[in-house]
Amino acid sequence: MRHTNEKSHYSRQGYYALMVLLLAYILSFIDRNIMAVLVGPVRESFAISDFQFSLLHGAAFTLFYIFLGLPIGWLADRVSRKYIIMVGVFFWSVMTFLCGLADSFLMLFLIRIGVGVGEAALSPPAYSLFGDYFTPQKLRWATAIFSMGITIGTGLSYKLGGFVYDWFSNINVSEDSIIREFMPWQMTFMVVAVPGFFIVGLLAFMREPTRFEANNVPSGAVPVTETFAHLYRQWQAYGALFFGVSMMSVIGYGTMTWFPEFLMRSYGLERAEASRALGNIFLLAGTAGSLAGAGFACLLQRLGYDDANVRWVMLVAAVLVVPATVMPQVESADTALMIAWCVVFLHYTHFGVAMAALQLITPSRMRALTSALMLFMTNLFGLALGGTVIAFVTDFVFGYDQALRYSLSWVAGVVYPLAAVVIGGSLHYYRTALRTLYDSASSKHETAFTNTVSRRIP
């Protein structure tokens, strides 16, 4: 076991790392989701359709984001995770600023690819760090707190984005002001990019922890083939977790992209009003849900469920089918927003505990690459396809902009049940994977201890 002073040291460092990485995660969602507030202005500037806009918002960002996560995860299992994250935050902040200089659809598309390249460097190393900073008992709370970045960042992207856009739209600018050369949506990108450079400075004070296995045994590097062999041996547990959480991300990212526009098209809300309303929901209900997920999983574990983390994901998916399908069809904006508070709260209870579940069945030196594989799947389905699937149904199935509400209901009614069924069928396999890892870690620890003792006996 780790020495008491070492535990205390790791605890302090872990809490600082968690705070700074949470700030970075919040900023990443502000920078990637700010376009959801700018649908109208960007479409007008480049004369594009919903489907084309969804390519800017989702496909461009994820084109390299999802694929670079894999080599970055491999690298993070071998070198300093701290420096990988620092380079990533700096790069995506530069790219976000450059989005404000884009003057064509193609230019903005290419720069959004750059934002995705930078953001790919954050999550896989971060989840690997948490696995070494925190005990299994504290890990689900750490990942739940980190996952609050999704909802805080999304909420702030709506509120901050709407505020900044309106401010630049309404100020009087002198003839010789440089601001006069840019449109309000361009200035919005430039402003939200600035905090990233300060976060890089905070990351510089974060320390790299020793990598520990399940039984607190320091770990060494492993070949990538061994990682994939481990995943293959437990493919039922990993496959269901990857696919089930990916289905949940279709709803999460699709809603992030299109819900403000849905409120404007279906109920006539102003852009600023829709952004504020949804921003409040994500900031309050979503953030509370992210933290509450760890509490719900703890309760399930006290009831005797060793698979509490993944079981909770299954329950959330099953419960949300009806309210998420009904919400876009109600007659008033107030009723839709009231249901949205409940849907967002419950939906965002799942991701933190799902990522904790992943770390708990994965050896330390495989965590970054395995997390990257999980994020590859969730971002492929969520970021790349979530918003695009909804736009595709609106444009090519229903064929008119006002049908956005039907697209939202249709996707929720298909995807949530699919996630619940896939994860529910894997619970036995997850429990098996959990027992296998900890039995193996205990065996290795006992073998190492025996070998050490035997070398000391004359």
* pLDDT tens figures, 284-316: 999 999 999 999 999 999 999 999 999 999 999
Least confident of 82-91, 147-156, 172-181, 206-215: 172-181
126 — pLDDT class (breaks 50, 70, 90)? very high
Total residues belonging to the chain? 458
| pLDDT reported for residue 339 | 96
In 207-252, which ranges are E strands? Answer: none
| DSSP-assigned states of every residue in 45-81 | HHT--HHHHHIIIIIHHHHHHHHHHHHHHHHHTTS-H
Using DSSP's 3-state secondary structure scheme, residue 122 falls into coil
Q: In this structure, what DSSP letter does residue 212 have?
A: B
132 — pLDDT class (breaks 50, 70, 90)? confident
**What is the rounded distance in angstroms from the CA atom of residue 137 to the CA atom of residue 134?**
8
Radius of gyration in angstroms for the set of CA atoms belonging to the chain, rounded to a whole number: 22
* pLDDT tens figures, 139-151: 888 988 998 998 8
Using CA atoms, how far residue 312 sits from 270, 285, 326, 345, 429, in Å, is 37, 18, 22, 14, 16
| pLDDT reported for residue 89 | 97
Q: What is the mean pLDDT of residues 167-182?
A: 73
Q: In this structure, what DSSP letter does residue 44 have?
A: H
* pLDDT tens figures, 392-440: 899 888 988 889 999 999 999 999 999 999 999 999 999 999 998 877 6
| pLDDT reported for residue 81 | 92
Least confident of 181-185, 205-209, 450-454: 450-454
For residue 194, give every residue at least 6 positions away whose Cβ sits within 8 Å of its Cβ, in sequence order, or none.
93, 97
**What is the rounded distance in angstroms from the CA atom of residue 38 to the CA atom of residue 54?**
12
* pLDDT tens figures, 353-375: 999 999 899 987 888 889 889 98
**The residue to which tokens 């993070």 are assigned:** 76
Written as six digits, the tokens of 359 are 């770390």
Residue 2 has pLDDT above 50, yes or no: no
Q: What is the mean pLDDT of residues 237-241?
A: 95
**What is the rounded distance in angstroms from the CA atom of residue 391 to the CA atom of residue 55?**
10
27 neighbors 352 (Cβ within 8 angstroms): no
**The residue to which tokens 């700096």 are assigned:** 90
For residue 399, give every residue at least 6 positions away whose Cβ sits within 8 Å of its Cβ, in sequence order, or none.
none
230 neighbors 453 (Cβ within 8 angstroms): no
